[in-house]
Structure 1
Amino acid sequence: MLELERWRKVALADGRVMTAEMTGRQRGIQDAFNLMCPISPGGAG
């Protein structure tokens, strides 16, 4: 689970927060625990 702590978030000038792409390991953890990917407001997901 510590691998998920490295998931990057970027704060934009207009106040929105967007998440960066996941690594393969992070995707594997997400799939193994059936976690949902957060969607940033106004982002494509």
Structure 2
Amino acid sequence: MRTFAGIERSCVVIGVMNRVEVWETERWKAYMKEKDDTLVEIAEKLFDLDL
């Protein structure tokens, strides 16, 4: 599993719905940085719904 995930040293374990994901730390940081703008946009749209 370490080879498949590209994990050499540290990792991040994330709970997502009904599964667990194991990420190499730097890959996780890059993924989150890429998704950050999308998450902000989604949050703004939800706020605009005025629920």
TM-score (norm 1): 0.31
Which structure is higher in helix share?
Answer: 2
User: Higher relative CO (CA 8 A, sep ≥ 6), structure 1 or 2?
Assistant: 1
The structure that has the greater radius of gyration is 2
